[in-house]
Structure 1
Amino acid sequence: MYAEERQQAMAQLIGQQGRLSVAELAETFAVTTETVRRDLSTLERIGLVRRMHGGAVPASSLTVIEAGLRERDQVNPGAKDAIAAAAVQLLPPPGSVIILDAGSTTVRLAAVLPRDHRLTVVTHAVPVAARLAGFPQIELHLLPGRVRSTTQAAVGSDTVAALANLRADVSFVATNGISAEYGLTTPDRDEAATKRAIVAAGRRTVVVADSSKIGVENAQRFASLDDLDVLVIDSGIKDEDRDALQAAGLEVVVA
C-alpha cells in the first residue's frame, strides 16, 4: 500500500470509529508508530483529522471554543493557587526582570509575589497589570497591542515587536494545552504569536498549568518542550504523563 492510499484509508477509518490511537492504527496498517504519527501530521495539515493525545479524531468532530478568563478562573481554583505558591519559589533574585503571560494561573501568581522582593514585571495581561499596579516593590511595564476580550490580553504585531526587544530572566507562561509529543498549544493564532515571543524573550521559561491541560492539543503550537525549562503543575498529573514529560527533558515540579 502506497503512503497516499494508507493515509486515505486511515482518515476513513478514523471517520468511522470517531477516535483511534496511534498504537491501534499502527497495528491495523502494519506500520511503525513513527509512520502513523507522520501520516497523522499529513492528514491534519490537509484538514482531515485532528491529532489528540496519543491518537486522532475526525476534524469535523471538534469545535474550537476558547473559554473566557472568568470561566477559566473557576476551573480547578485550588490547584491553581497551589501552582502559584510553588511557582513563587522559582523567582529570580531581587532586581531581576520577569515576564508574566496572560492566564488565570498567572493572575494568581501575580497576587502572591512577595512584597519584599523587588522585581521588574513585564506583562501583556490587563488583569495581571491591575493586580500589580499598587505593589511598591514592582516596576510594572504593560505591553502595547490590541486587547482581546476573551483573554483580556494585548496581542498583535505591536506586542510581538515589543517583546522582541526584551530580555527577561524568567518568563512565566500559561497554556491551554500541553503534550509530550506536541508541546504547548492555544486556540488563537495571535495569542500563540505573543506566547511564542514571551518564551523567546526569557533566559529561563517556567510553565504554570493545571493537570487538566495535560494531553490537550489545540490548533496553534507556540513552544516545543525543548524551548522550556520547568513545568509547575498540581498533584492531579498522572505518573505516566509526568514520566513522559520528564523523559522529554522538562523538569516537572508538582505543587
Structure 2
Amino acid sequence: MYAEERQQAMAQLVADRGRLSVTALAETFEVTTETVRRDLSALERMGLVRRVHGGAIPAHTLAAIESGLLERDQANVAQKDRIAQAALDLLPAPGSVVLFDAGTTTARLASLLPRDHQLIVLTHSVPIAARLATVPHIELHLLPGRVRTTTQAAVGADTVAALELVRADVAFVGTNGITVGHGLSTPDHDEAATKRAMVAAARQVVVLADAAKVGQEALVRFASLEDVDLLVTDDAIDPEHAVGLKDHDVEVVIA
C-alpha cells in the first residue's frame, strides 16, 4: 500500500470510529508508530484529522476543538506535577495578589500552596476555588461569569470586566499552545478573552505548560511572547523552541 492510499484509509477509519490511538493505527496498517505519526501530521495539515494526545480524531468534531478537563488532567501527569512544584519558587511575597488561570497544571500549583504563606487569590476556575475555599490563609475571590463545561471555568463579559478592575502581582496562566510566531493560544474565543484580561491585569505573567504544548498553535491568540515573563515547562522541550523563546526575552524554567 502506497503512503497516499494508507493515509486516505487512515482518515476514513478515524472518521468512522471517532477516535483511534497511534498504537491501534499502527497495528491496523502494519506500520511503525513513527510512520503513523507522520501520516497523522500530513492528514492534519490537509484538515482531515486532528491530532490529540496519543492518537487522532475527526477534524470536524467538537472534541477536535478542545479536549475535556478530565482527559487533559490525565495527560503528562508527572511533568505537570514537576512544573507545579517548580512554580512554588515563583510565588510572590506573603500578602500579595495572585491570579490563577483555569487548567490542570495551575490547579496542581494551587493544591501545593504552603500553609504559612498568606495570599489574596483570584480565580475563574471552579476546581481551583473549591480547593482553596477552606484554606484559612488564602483570601479567595471567585470571578463571575458563565461556567464552561469543558474547562469548568467562568468566562464572558462579566469575567473580563471584573479582571479589568484588579491589579495582581503575579498571574499563573495555562495555555493550549505557545510558539514564537503565534504567541499563546487557546481554541475558544471566550477563554481567550478571559486569559487576555488576566495577562493584562498582572505585573508578572508566569506560564505553566508541559513541553507537549510548546510548538503547538490553537485557534485564538490571547497573548504575545512580549506579554510573558517566564515559562515553566519540563525537560522534554525541544531545544530549538527553548532558544526561540529565550530570544524573545521569555525566561524558560525547566522543571
TM-score range, shorter chain: 0.7 to 0.9
Q: Name the residue aligned to 1:124.
A: 124
Query: What SS does the aligned partner of 1:81 have?
Result: helix
CA distance in 1, matches of 2:96, 2:116: 13
- Give the AA of the match of 2:221: R
Moved over 6 A (4+): none
CA distance in 1, matches of 2:49, 2:68: 22
Q: Name the residue aligned to 1:30.
A: none
CA distance in 2, matches of 1:251, 1:226: 11
Q: Does 1:57 align with 2:30?
A: no
User: What is the Cα deviation at residue 242 of structure 1?
Assistant: 0.7
Indicate the larger mover: 95-104 or 236-245.
236-245
Q: Name the residue aligned to 2:89.
A: 89
TM-score with structure 2 setting the length:
0.77
CA distance in 2, matches of 1:202, 1:176: 20
- Give the AA of the match of 2:186: T
**Aligned 1:39-188 pairs, distance under 5 A:** 57-59=45-47, 62=50, 63=59, 64-188=64-188
Matched positions, count: 202
CA distance in 2, matches of 1:156, 1:113: 28
Q: Name the residue aligned to 2:15.
A: none
CA distance in 2, matches of 1:94, 1:176: 30
CA distance in 2, matches of 1:100, 1:222: 16
CA distance in 2, matches of 1:236, 1:136: 37
CA distance in 1, matches of 2:211, 2:173: 15
Q: Name the residue aligned to 1:242.
A: 242
Q: Cα deviations across residues 150-200 of structure 1 (Å, max 9, x unaligned)?
A: 000000000000000010000000000011111100000000000000000
- Stretches of structure 1 that go unaligned for 5 or more consecutive residues are 1-17, 19-55
CA distance in 2, matches of 1:65, 1:183: 18
CA distance in 2, matches of 1:183, 1:72: 21
- Give the AA of the match of 1:91: L
- Stretches of structure 2 that go unaligned for 5 or more consecutive residues are 1-6, 8-43, 51-58
- Give the AA of the match of 1:57: R
User: What is the Cα deviation at residue 59 of structure 1?
Assistant: 4.8
CA distance in 1, matches of 2:72, 2:174: 12
CA distance in 2, matches of 1:70, 1:245: 29
RMSD: 1.6
Identical columns (%):
61
CA distance in 2, matches of 1:57, 1:75: 23
User: What is the Cα deviation at residue 65 of structure 1?
Assistant: 2.5
User: What is the Cα deviation at residue 58 of structure 1?
Assistant: 3.9
